[in-house]
Structure 1
Amino acid sequence: MMWKMLVCACLMMASPSVLAQAACADLSKAVEFQLKKAASSSAEGIADNSAPRATLRELRISNSLALVEMNLTLMAQNKCPPRQKPVNPMIYFGEALDCEIATQKGEKDSPKCKMDAWQGVSAPAVGNAG
């Protein structure tokens, strides 16, 4: 009986629990959301020349990136699998810009602004230029 409990305890420590996997998924979603939010804030400034609003946008971007860093730290502490995408809000900038343009055109509830559908672009591999 003691042997079975020891084996079970070892298996539980060696493999991530269902709760840890759920935490990893939630943290990963939170990272993606904050990256999309930072890209969206960047795109908002494309047609705006107000220095005070630009400062506030940069502050929002910094706050989003700080939340990304905190969530990545929590992912590491929970032994989550490493991210396969770059931690760069600019991978979502094209979609954020499409949303901002739709918003500027007065298209309320544009499908282009549904962040859940944003896929981002892959960053080019370094040193693989033609």
Structure 2
Amino acid sequence: MKQIFIFISVIALFQLSCTKHDNCGPAPTSFEGKWRMIKVTDNISGFAFIKPDSIPGDVAIIFTASSATEGTFIGNTPTNDIWVTTYFIGQNQELSIPALNITKVMETAWGKEFVDNICSAQGYYFENCEKLNIRTTKNTLCFQKQ
């Protein structure tokens, strides 16, 4: 009986010590600033794709608002530069990016995830831990605030 009590005590102590604490901060309230793409999730299957370690560099974009409903972003993929690109915000967190101004020379698989999806953006939402999710017709692109 004593052994069972010790075993249960150890398990309880282990569970309490391994509890995840969410101390990563509140959700952002605007696009402003620099964001790094950290994950692409298929909207139907839920399969998540992260950047392979074999690909150097990141997809990073910097948003600058010109009004409450529109702005621009610039940035880069692992191999190409993103020039000034316009975005529009609608009601109910709708997002539209009509065209992407970018070179497309030898794009990596990670860069293609961004390039092939961003112009089909439909909406966005923020998460705790300073994350921005851009929902497209096929995937959701997740960005971490830098």
TM over 0.5: no
Per the normalisation by structure 2, the TM-score is 0.28
Q: Which has the higher helix share?
A: 1
Q: Which has the higher strand share?
A: 2
